Amino acid sequence: MIREHLDGILAWTQLRVSNGALEGMNNKVKVVSHRAYGYRTTQTYIIAIWHGCGDLPLE
C-alpha cells in the first residue's frame, strides 16, 4: 500500500504542502451541488458555487 503512494509521500516530506484546503473546497462544492438540484441553468448553479465557497453576503 505504501509503495502505491510513495511518490505522494516523498513529495510531502520535501514540500510540506497539504491538499486539505482543496479537499474542503471540493466538499463545499458537493454540498452546494446537492442543494442546487433542480436549478434550471448552469449559470445559476455556478453562482451558487461561488456564493457557497466565497462566503458572499446575501444582499
Q: What is the pLDDT of residue 57?
A: 67
**Which residues are within 8 A (CB) of 49 and not within 5 positions of it... i.e. 6 or more apart?**
29, 32, 33, 36
- Cα 11 to Cα 2, 3, 4, 41, 54, distances in angstroms: 13, 13, 13, 40, 29
- Give the number of C-alpha atoms closer than 13 A to the C-alpha of residue 6, restricted to the C-beta side: 4
Q: What is the pLDDT of residue 17?
A: 85
The reply to whether 51 falls in a domain is: yes
The reply to whether 45 falls in a domain is: yes
Domain that holds residue 30: 19-59
- Give the number of C-alpha atoms closer than 13 A to the C-alpha of residue 33, restricted to the C-beta side: 6
| pLDDT at 56 exceeding the cut of 80 | no
The reply to whether 14 falls in a domain is: no
The reply to whether 44 falls in a domain is: yes
Q: What is the pLDDT of residue 19?
A: 85
Q: What is the pLDDT of residue 3?
A: 93
The reply to whether 4 falls in a domain is: no
**pLDDT for 12-51, tens place per residue?**
899 988 888 889 999 999 999 898 888 889 999 888 888 8
Q: What is the pLDDT of residue 59?
A: 65
- Number of structural domains (the chain) is 1
